[in-house]
Amino acid sequence: MVERAGSGAVASEAAVPGVGKRRGWVVAGSAVVVGVVLGFHRHVPNWPGRVGSLLESFLPWVGLLVVVLLVVALVRRSAVALVALLLPVGVWVDTFGGLLLPGGESGGGRELVVVQHNVSDENRDPDGTARALIDSRADLVALEELVDPQVAVYEKSLAADYPHHVVRGTVGLWSKHPLSEEQVVDIKPPSIEEGWSRGLRAVVHSPYGDVAAYVAHLPSVRVGAGGLASQRRDESAALLGRAIADESVEAVVLLGDLNGVVEDRGLKPLTSQLGVAGSGFAFSFPAAFPVARIDQVMARSATVGRIRTLPATGSDHLPVVARVTLG
């Protein structure tokens, strides 16, 4: 009697006609939904709470859902689910697969090595951070969250290797090549008080021709119960996009903490006119466990090669380095 009760309690799916099949269709349906979301994320409404931008901020990680669904499909031995999973796998590979490929480390010829780093206004080791950036042997180094007295340390520590530099507000650019036409770029959203200055422009006179270099630190975003608070960031991106659209120098390089990933529609005023890295995820924030690259290198009339992170400094961001090939 005990055996019969026990065997009935643990009846297998095979003893219940259609259960395994139904669950296979559930996995298949979920796979199709994930594939559609990946492929058509631009059509996800941005309201309420800028849900579209929130999704795009973590879009590469949607691939983890595909892995989970694959495991379930294998456990269920569902052929229909495995076939359906080809859709999200294909879309993910099409969208992000190129970032996994090697290449772009050394194109030779007309290229500049550039570093972008939010050094943090709470950095307790600015001198060590400066030395780490010098080790990258970059031509250009862009820094954000420059505050007193740390900014004086960066100026002193970087002076020998980068004889040309400009600081405006809390952002700065250090260069091995001469600079000119240094100026503030006004990217302050209307709702922020005066005294907020996070954008600059300078012309870099490189061996391969003039390059208009922009350094920017867009407003922070926050994720809360109401969704993604990114209105100020989006407004600032639009102002920066207009400035770059009006730029008279053909070659442009943008370096900055943009507080957004390149898939985020909030950065469309920039990504619609500037090229981004062809390979490398280079998740840069937070430094302790990076989940997104919000530190960006973009360019016009130039190609951004592979982007990668450098070892951690005293900041909550990781530095990112890329090679930019001109012409």
How many C-beta atoms surround the C-beta of residue 8 within 10 A? Answer: 9
Residue 215 CA to residue 110 CA, distance in Å, equals: 21
Q: Chunked in runs of 10, what are the mean pLDDT values of the chain (327 residues)?
A: 48 51 86 96 90 94 95 94 97 93 66 98 98 98 98 98 98 98 98 95 98 98 86 97 98 98 97 96 98 98 97 98 95
Question: b/e per residue, 207-219, with b = 16+ CB within 10 A?
Answer: ebebbbbbbbbbb
pLDDT at 106: 52
Residue 307 CA to residue 241 CA, distance in Å, equals: 22
Q: In the chain, where does DSSP find H-type helix?
A: 2-9, 19-39, 51-57, 63-76, 79-84, 86-96, 126-134, 150-158, 231-245, 268-271
pLDDT at 176: 98
pLDDT at 10: 44
Residue 32 CA to residue 257 CA, distance in Å, equals: 35
| Cα→Cα distances 195→117, 181, 187, Å | 22, 22, 12
User: Do residues 260 and 292 lie in contact, with contact meaning Cβ atoms separated by under 8 Å?
Assistant: no
pTM here is: 0.89
Residue 199 CA to residue 215 CA, distance in Å, equals: 6
User: Do residues 143 and 174 lie in contact, with contact meaning Cβ atoms separated by under 8 Å?
Assistant: yes
pLDDT at 320: 98
pLDDT at 108: 59
- Amino acid residing at 220: S
Q: By C-alpha distance, which of 105, 161, 7 is closest to 321?
A: 105
- In the chain, what is the straight-line distance between the N-terminal and C-terminal CA atoms, in Å? 83
